[in-house]
Amino acid sequence: MPSIQRRAADLVFEHLQERIVSGELAPGDRLDPTEIATSLGLSRTPVREAILQLDSAGLVRRLPYRGVVVAELDRRLAEEVAALRIHLETLAARVAVPRLADADIAEMRAAHEQLQRALAGEHPEREFNELNRRFHMALYQRADSAVLLRTIESLAGQAERIRMHFDLRHSPAGRHHEAILAACERRDADAVVAATRDHILAAHRLMMGEDYRIEPDSALAAVLAGTGVVSD
């Protein structure tokens, strides 16, 4: 059973994450542990631990003379991760689809339904990453490639850190997962590949903002061109 102090730190982490993803705390805003502890009626210890969690998740940075500040999204890293995920996850999907068993489809359906319920809740971030991984890995594991799966899981970890900057209640994951699942049920590899690509790309665009454009000489543009998509 977690200690009271550990649970307090987790609650502070969730509180500060919510303030960051909602925009109440903007990039560059300073986090003062003493002020936070006083406002929450806590000691500084769980607040310091929560800030360490935020740092590990990439949500804050430590700057000389300023202390801890809210981090900006690393747009270049986000684009590289999206490019690699599209390339490797569509490969895994194409190899996996012909090998899918009914039990794999059932596991994907169960994860999808649980994720839908989580997204409708007040704090989807508490379950999203685990259920999202369950859904996709139920498919990708059928590619039967340990190296490919390890690489995909490593990139998933990077994507999860990036995702923590955003309010998941606006995530398009539900409808995209439904499209992937329907194509898997038909054992239509081309449709699964297209739906997987569109899913990753749509989530990436949402995180990058309305003014985002894919540079024509970027890795993401090259990956999309390889799948027949013309980037803008």
pLDDT in tens, 152-189: 999 998 888 888 777 777 778 889 999 999 999 999 99
Question: Given this model, what pLDDT does residue 230 score?
Answer: 60
What is the mean pLDDT of the segment spanning 212-223? 92
pLDDT tens readout for residues 92-108: 999 999 999 999 999 99
Residue 179 has what pLDDT?
97
Report the half-sphere exposure of 223 (CA within 13 A, side-chain side): 22
Percent of the chain residues past pLDDT 70, beyond the cut: 95
C-alpha–C-alpha distance, residues 63 and 56, integer Å? 15
Sign of the dihedral defined by the CA atoms of residues 148, 150, 151, 153, in that order? positive
